[in-house]
Chain A
Amino acid sequence: MDSVGSIILFVIVALSIVVFSILAVTTRKILRAATYLLFTLFATAVVYFMLDYQFLGAVQIAVYAGGIVVLFVFAILLTSHPGHNSEKLASKRRVLGLIASLAMLFIAGGSLLARCGALSVTKPDVATPDMNQIGTAMMGVGEGQYLLPFEAISVLLLACIIGGIVVARKR
């Protein structure tokens, strides 16, 4: 039995995720879309906190909300023509997209409801991993430890850095 506060918080967070997601993809002004994305990302971070993943929430805010959205904003400002920052969408296309995403929603939602029983579990009262455990898991090579993916990611990031430089560099 959750506390009323947490229920209210959940409702607010869930609503903001839904609303801002919808807004982010429906608004015509691209800069606004980026802003709504930011709100969605924040809301997601809150969900992480609610699930006791503090570290993950922090990463979400730092990397996504702090880093990526800023990148978006810069990119938007660099690429948009003045007064040309809205796009018109063919209504047929929008309807088709809506149908597709609604179909996806129903199918996925249907399958969720079909597994209703299995998913109707409350949050188990188990401690989430602390920083120490996360660090150990990242740096080890044993079972349940992730040094190899960690290194892979680092190489990937390096590649991205180089790629970014090469792509964006002026000739």
Chain B
Amino acid sequence: MFENILIYFVIIPLVMLAALGLCRNIKQIRAVAVVGSLGLIALSTVVLLQYLDMRSAIDAAIAAGTATEQPAMLFTNTWTWFAPLNIHLAVGVDGISIAMLMLSSIIVFAGSFASWTIKQPKEFFLWLILLSTGVFGFFISVDLFTMFMFYEVALIPMYLLIGVWGSGKKNYSAMKLTLMLMGGSAFLMLGLIGIYYHSAPEGGQLTWNLLEIVDNDAIPHGWQQFLFPMTFVGFGVLGAMFPFHTWSPDGHASAPTAVSMLHAGVLMKLGGYGCFRVAIYTMPQAAHELSWIFLILTGISVVYGAFCACVKTDLKYINAYSSVSHCGLVLFAILMLNETAMTGAIMQMLSHGLMTALFFALIGMIYGRTHTREITEMGGMMQIMPYLSVCYVIAGLASLGLPGLSGFVAEMTIFVGSFQAGMADFLAGHGSLRLVFTLVACCSIVITAVYILRVVGKLLFGPVHDDHHRSLTDATWWERVSTVSLIVCVAAIGCFPNFFSNLIKFTFDPAIFSVLGLK
């Protein structure tokens, strides 16, 4: 019954697209968006539960001696797509992908509510859902080619969504974002094709399938040195890695609310996920040797983004730079090649996805009322719109790592793991780079506090800056649904981190760390 369940992650959005085509008015459009995203949430929950069941069933089988080891992925399935080049629609998930799928479905849900009153809703939702098709497809794919295809499907609608529904310098931003991400895709494609042509030992059948590539472990060392940077940079651009991050502030500043949410919340995770799943997973040797370059870059991202966020006055810019900092931490932790740090990286993806989506949702809601995003032109929002302000404070506290919310557990896992990796390196005489950059990254918790509190202080507290704002209303019910759903998730991760941590770590155990030689 569950063999084909993953493909529904693509089918549901496609059905939603078809249903949207038939919609006649805004109510129907909203209904389609809400029902569809609820369906996605339900689906990912079912997959999660089934996944845990199956894992424990296999564990029991191993204990009974009827099975030998945990497979790397479950629900695997393959449909041939283009036989001559061996392209398949191959799907499969492990704990990490499931975490990402849950994140995406929740953010799509919240995003639907956040764009309740958007103009030209039909077209907007068409593109938005097309985008989420790409996202879901990416996370379920294990075939590099289809992965790349879904990746592009997720990127391209962004151009129209920002260009048409955006604000401010939207043409410039949309163009910049699309071009920079496409530039990344170019590197990525080069890398993926390179991987394909070395995916099998001499004379073997070439394959795009990740799991087979890892099994074959045939990419020559010299080629890894070339292909690893290609794929890492390709995905790293989407993960806002310094110095390829500048699309992020402009793009987010111009994008409409739901698009910012989806982009920062989910799309940027595609970058981190890809770096991990493709670059490091298939080329562990090169990852060991070349990680120092990217460690430096991502380490810089972490503090650099935070410092930049300290002086910006546009809410979206601040949040975009904070995303640079937090996503930098994701890539940074992945590069530590340490189980704990990598678990932390995935948790940070979840955590950042949720809280940045919350941030962008709130910024969109505030902007929709005040028509400005300059914190110098606002003040005392706590008196005017207490609900939104309280949510903003919660998001801020999550972002600066308050225990009990998601940011803390992710960051701490990363720091503990990175420190262990750094000290291990240091004591083994491999230099102190990891250690130093871990300490540098730790400093970000202070800088984050600075810019978050600066915004909270200026925007929410203090006297009301503009008397025109006094007549503004607090959140509507759909805005409440959107924010509450995100806050609940942020708090859930923050209060019960071990569930998520184990879900993710469980993945590392059988699959990845054997490859990386870390177990």
Q: Do chains A and B touch in the complex (CB under 8 A)?
A: no
The residues of A with any CB-CB pair to B shorter than 8 Å are none
Residues of B bordering A, CB below 8 Å: none
